A = this chain, B = another copy of it.
Amino acid sequence: MSQTIINSSNLLADLRHVISSIPHDRLFLLSDSNVEAMVFPLLDDFFNEYNPVRIILPPGEEYKNLESLSKVWECLAAEGGSRKSLLINLGGGVVTDLGGFAAACFKRGIRFVNIPTTLLSAVDAAVGGKTGIDFNGLKNEIGAFAPAEAVILSTAPFATLPDFQMASGFAEIVKMAMISSPEVYAHILRLSEDNGLDLRASGFPLGDLVNFSVMKKAEIVEQDPNEKGLRKILNFGHTCGHAFESFLLKKGTPIPHGEAVAYGILVALILSNLRLKADSRLIHQYKSHILAPLFPPISIKCDDIDTLIDIMKHDKKNADGKITFVLLSAIGDPVIDSDTPEEDIRAALDIFIDMQ
């Protein structure tokens, strides 16, 4: 799997270049109505010039479903889409995940380009070829591994994002630094000491950090496209993170994906200390320098632990009732703990709750 990744300083010019480099008969663009309102105006010239067939979904994770997928396929078919058509996914993770899956299956696969409009989708969803939809109450239950032909990364659309979405995306960058680079993680900690992680400050090197994170992800995915081994380290923080996310969604108090992962990382650090004797200072450093400045407290109680364990057992990454964590023996040194004992997970969650 190899993907063209473009760090764009001129979205319109790079989009023109990408489109002209991919031969196609019909051009389609998938987006949602929020992005239509906020980001389309930045690309007026593109719309005038190329006039793509526009497919607009309602915004939100609840529309990342089979019905929306079917709607996209119907539109591709009705508007003369062929195997040589090209789909541009312009939006957050819902749009790039669903659009990528729609493209992967339409006529057994057409080419697509991702233009992430949120920080989270830039560093998490748009690169790496995981596509899919939610199904039966489970996230990404149905999907395919299918890489975008090209991913165009531009920080321009991020100006339209609320703060909590910026923080949510930044959590994935922190994760990448923790599993792969002591230097970059130390740099992020210094940034926190300096300005409390003000991601929009003019001197904040957001573009560089996005670039680091995406390139590192591409490198890992290139080596293990179908998540047979190495790629699993990208799930650091996600075992518990996904459980928090599902649990709070069901409770009616949803939190963003990145925020859930940020708290999942804290649990993973506690478990790393319990099982691998990782330095306990990592836990407190992370809590005070990353979590505190970026995220509000999370509402998880001791009574919730049984439910959380149950959700983890049903995660698609786990099977046979075993729960797999990615832990750190040190920053930059991830370890896949493929059968983490339930009692250790419970102990870590107890400590986690006490720390809130």
Contacts and interface: CB of A to CB of B under 8 A. Distances in A.
Nearest to A137: B77
Contact of A104 (B73, B83, B138, B144): B144
Given A108-B144, A142-B105, A83 B136 contact: no
Given A83-B317, A83-B319, A145 B109 contact: yes
Given A73-B136, A135-B73, A107 B316 contact: yes
Contact of A108 (B74, B78, B83, B143): B143
A192 B143 CA distance: 47
A141 B82 contact: no
A84 interface: yes
A141 B319 CA distance: 32
A136 B84 contact: no
A278 interface: no
Contact of A74 (B70, B73, B136, B318): B136
A93 to B, nearest CB: 15
B130 A108 contact: yes
Nearest to A129: B108
A106 interface: yes
A72 to B, nearest CB: 11
B82 A319 contact: yes
B105 A143 contact: yes
A320 B77 contact: no
Contacts of A140: 108
A320 B84 contact: yes
A141 B106 contact: yes
Interface of A: 25, 66, 70, 73-74, 77-78, 82-84, 101, 104-109, 130, 132, 135-136, 138, 140-145, 226, 316-320
Given A77-B136, A101-B105, 4 more contacts: A83-B316, A83-B317, A108-B140, A144-B144
